[in-house]
Amino acid sequence: MVDMVAVKAERESSQRQRQESASLKSLVFCSAVEIKKNVMEVATVQRFQYSSWIDLRNFEGKPRGSLRYTLRFKENKTLRVVAPLALDRRRDHRLRSVSDQNSSALLETGSLRQSPFDEEQILKRKAEEIKPYLKGRPIFLVGMMGSGKTTVGKILSKALGYTLLDCDTFIEHAMNGTSVAEIFEHFGESVFREKETETLKEVSCMYRQVVVSTGGGAVIRPINWKYMHKGITIWLDVPLEVLAHRIAAVGTDSRPLLHVDEAEDIYTTTLNRLSKIWDVRGEAYTNANARVSLENTALKLGYKSVSDLTPTEIAIEAFEQVQSYLDNEDGIARL
């Protein structure tokens, strides 16, 4: 009887040991699977994180450029694309050189483009940084015809929460809707220049928190500088060939100093006229507080051509140049 009890107890004990061993094995197996899964997840994340530059030039219908994605796992373990990081430009250059090593396609295209999202973030941050130091002063954009004063002015004014004023439009309103071309034709250039000076005087004395897109010739009269220097002046310096291309693309009807007959070669004629105008007033643009050279900006961003620059990139450069000017102008206030 005692033997029977002892045998039963031993059988139960060894059965318990087998069960415990089986469940331990299963536990170890599960952990191994789990660990392997985690390792795979980490590897997947790393793979996507380290070669995460996607050249949009390869995608038909998308804007040219590269887009940086950060990929993370959601709780349900599916991959998801999260918003690209807002990066400081300098930091971004460093990241680019690292990611470039992993992307021969990128090296071939030479594209160092930000995603439009990144561009917007940088622009917004730059605007917030310089706004307190502008103290509401007007910003005057100067530059040759077609240099992008209106296009870039729109972006700058929106980022700062300022109003955009177009000098030519201002004059047209003051002349009861007469267009600039008609003012030149019926009253002559001297009347237009008088109106231009009156406008700059009014705007610089009466308006705050405005970005002013001036006429290409606003720089000629020294008195105009007296008014424009009440605010901050930015010169958009664009190569004449680029200006001629832009103007030829839209026609010369609204620009009386460049007006070209249909029979003429619009690009060549425009370039010749721009060259003559430049000879007379090129020097005057250097009175501006900040210069945005499209050639320098394209070089800085590693672009092959000035035409690769987006208006937002030009606007960011404008903020950077203004920032340098303000640093020198008012170093103590910015400390």
Ligand X SMILES: Nc1ncnc2c1ncn2[C@@H]1O[C@H](COP(=O)(O)OP(=O)(O)OP(=O)(O)O)[C@@H](O)[C@H]1O
Ligand Y SMILES: O=C(O)C1=C[C@@H](O)[C@@H](O)[C@H](O)C1
Using CB under 6 A as the criterion, which residues of the chain lie in contact with ligand X when the complex forms? 143, 145-151, 213, 215-216, 246, 250, 255, 309, 311, 314
Report the partner that residue 143 touches, choosing among ligand X, ligand Y, none (CB closer than 5 to 8 A by kind): ligand X
The helix-helix angle for 116-134 and 311-329 (nearest 10°) equals: 30
Report the partner that residue 96 touches, choosing among ligand Y, ligand X, none (CB closer than 5 to 8 A by kind): none
17 or 305, CB closer to ligand X?
305
State which of residues 84, 116, 251, 256 lies at the interface with ligand Y (CB under 6 A).
Answer: 256
127 or 315, CB closer to ligand X?
315
318 or 326, CB closer to ligand X?
318
CA 51 from centre of chain: 23
State which of residues 217, 243, 301, 303 lies at the interface with ligand Y (CB under 6 A).
Answer: 217
Least separation in angstroms between residue 273's CB and ligand Y is 10
Report the partner that residue 149 touches, choosing among ligand Y, ligand X, none (CB closer than 5 to 8 A by kind): ligand X
Site string for ligand Y, 132-161 (x = CB under 6 A): -------------x----------------
215 or 231, CB closer to ligand Y?
215
Least separation in angstroms between residue 180's CB and ligand X is 9
* Angstrom distance (rounded) from CA 185 to CA 194: 15
147 or 157, CB closer to ligand X?
147
State which of residues 215, 238, 290, 320 lies at the interface with ligand Y (CB under 6 A).
Answer: 215
10 Å Cβ neighbour count for 280? 10
SS3 per-residue string spanning the chain: CHHHHHHHHHHHHHHHHHHHHHHHHHHHHHHHHHHHHHHHHHHHHHHHHHCCEEEHHHCCCCCCCEEECEEEECCCCCEEEECCCCCCHHHHHHHHHHHHHCCHHHHHHCCCCCCHHHHHHHHHHHHHHHHHHHCCCCEEEECCCCCCHHHHHHHHHHHHCCEEEEHHHHHHHHCCCCCHHHHHHHHCHHHHHHHHHHHHHHHHHHCCCEEEECCCCCCCCHHHHHHHCCCEEEEEECCHHHHHHHHHHHCCCCCHHHCCCCCCCHHHHHHHHHHHHHHHHHHHHHHCCEEEEHHHHHHHCCCCCHHHCCHHHHHHHHHHHHHHHHHHHCHHHHC
Q: Does 231 bind ligand Y (CB under 6 A)?
A: no
Contact set for ligand Y, span 164-193 (CB under 6 A): 168, 180
Least separation in angstroms between residue 156's CB and ligand X is 12
Q: Which stretch binds ligand Y (CB under 6 A): 63-71, 108-116, 250-258, 316-324?
A: 250-258
Least separation in angstroms between residue 277's CB and ligand X is 11
10 Å Cβ neighbour count for 314? 22
Report the partner that residue 257 touches, choosing among ligand Y, ligand X, none (CB closer than 5 to 8 A by kind): ligand Y
12 or 253, CB closer to ligand Y?
253
Unique residue bearing structure tokens 């460093």: 94
164 or 326, CB closer to ligand X?
164
Q: Which amino acid is at 184?
A: F
Contact set for ligand Y, span 268-327 (CB under 6 A): none
Least separation in angstroms between residue 47's CB and ligand Y is 53
142 or 210, CB closer to ligand Y?
142
How distant, in Å, are the alpha carbons of 50, 83, 221 from that of 172? Answer: 55, 44, 20
Least separation in angstroms between residue 196's CB and ligand Y is 7
Interface residues with ligand Y (CB under 6 A) are 145, 168, 180, 215-217, 255-257
